Amino acid sequence: MTVRFAPSPTGLLHIGGARTALYNWLLARGSGGRMILRIEDTDKVRSTKENVDHILEALDWLGIDYDHGPLSQAGHQPRHLEVIEQLRQSGHAYEFEGSTRLKVPDEGETVVRDLIRGDVTFKHEAIDDFTIARSDGSPLYNLAVAVDDLDSEVTHVVRGEDHLSNTPRQAMILEALGHAPPVYAHLPLLHGPDGKKLSKRHGAASVQELRDAGYVREAVVNYLALLGWGYDDKQTFFSIDELTDLFTLDRVSKSAAVFDEQKLRWMNGAYLRQLPAEQLTARIEAFTGREGLAGAVELCREKIQTLADFWPLAAFFFDGPTDDPKAREKFLDGEGRLRLQDARAALAGVEPFTTETIEDSLREVVERLGAKPKQVFQPVRVAISGTTISPGIFESLELLGRDESLARIDAAIDAA
């Protein structure tokens, strides 16, 4: 089996394109076949080196490698021109107002055999003779794609459903050259949860945006694989090796797949919680550009779903309390300030300063004051973090240590 991924370098790699690349890669690796990366760069204005680099960067982050390429479609133009002349000489194409058109039979039909959609029939009477070369002689998309697939000995073309309408034209070009078309499989389109075509309004729309939003490769690959494919009704989590072994086109749906970033967040959180502490810390440190985060990572790991969730939750450990006037006004004024003073006095005598002894001490304050736990714990939380949302209050106090915790509480009391 030889497959190809052939993106146009017009910007960042869209999630739909990433899924197409992944499906091709899984087929090639699962069958012991080959994967070709071909850059369809005939649009000279949009096909910049920067855009090509975006595609290569995204594939590298996803772990999708290839056996040949990246090939340049524009660099293959001499071969395209040779085929155009061959089609003219054989009578399958003719010149029209300077351009070159392929002759389409008046009668009959072209049947595209699609592994996902079954046989799709296109009546010739509904297809006009179509242009394969512009008046300046440059080849058009359908001609270039058909020739490139032929010359690369591509056996299976797996691409988005939006390309299905192009397929009979490419098949007719190959037939005119005396060759059978490859096997086709057109993947369902991606929609957002609202049923509309996936776009930026649904959240991240490219691989780089997912990476920069703190998603990890394993979760993204797992989730992309499930956008239109499923192994059974029970299994949701797949390792990359499992996907390579299990993926087949006959389990790909015809229906549009829904990309729901909330589901991806949930899956990503599950992957983060499964990581050993050292690996999770290393990833978060690389993502944030900070070091020495191990203790805070351990406290936050159950509360985060992406790598980006960590720093807003844990920054106060390293940069001091944040400034949340509403939280301070609600919990550090009046009775809240008095309860904070009681908590401070209790914490000053805690020995050793550990999660367990800290909790015992603060719960004694709650009981002695006849207060609700929140009425004591929240003033302490706001004093040390600046906000009402943080990791566990007892664990946070231990990680900060006695001196830093008391210093922050003193500062909050003085400012109240």
Q: What is the CA radius of gyration of the chain?
A: 30
Query: Token pair of 148, please?
Result: 């490139």
Task: Indicate left, alpha or beta for 66 from its phi (over 0: left) and psi (-120 to 50: alpha).
Answer: beta
Task: Indicate left, alpha or beta for 91 from its phi (over 0: left) and psi (-120 to 50: alpha).
Answer: left
Torsion angle defined by CA atoms of residues 294, 297, 299 and 300, in that order, rounded to the nearest 10 degrees? 170
Q: Determine the Cα–Cα distance for residues 101 and 87; give it in Å rounded to an integer.
A: 10
Q: Determine the Cα–Cα distance for residues 57 and 21; give it in Å rounded to an integer.
A: 13
Looking at 196, 200, 254, 374, which residue is catalytic? 200
| Alpha carbon separation from 300 to 79, 306, 322, 326, 396 (Å, rounded) | 58, 11, 17, 24, 10
Cβ-based neighbours of 153, under 8 Å, separated by 6 or more: 2
Return the SS3 of 37: strand
200 is catalytic: yes
| Alpha carbon separation from 145 to 74, 93, 106, 149 (Å, rounded) | 11, 17, 24, 6
Query: Token pair of 272, please?
Result: 């983060």
What angle is formed at CA 316 by the lines to CA 313 and CA 319, rounded to 5 degrees? 130
Cβ atoms of 39 and 53 within 8 Å: the answer is no
Query: Token pair of 67, please?
Result: 């056996």
| Alpha carbon separation from 160 to 15, 121, 343, 351 (Å, rounded) | 12, 18, 62, 64
**First-to-last CA distance in the chain?**
71
Classify the C-alpha dihedral 54-58-64-65 as positive or negative.
positive
Q: Determine the Cα–Cα distance for residues 171 and 314; give it in Å rounded to an integer.
A: 57
Cβ atoms of 113 and 119 within 8 Å: the answer is yes
Q: Determine the Cα–Cα distance for residues 327 and 142; give it in Å rounded to an integer.
A: 62
Catalytic residues: 200
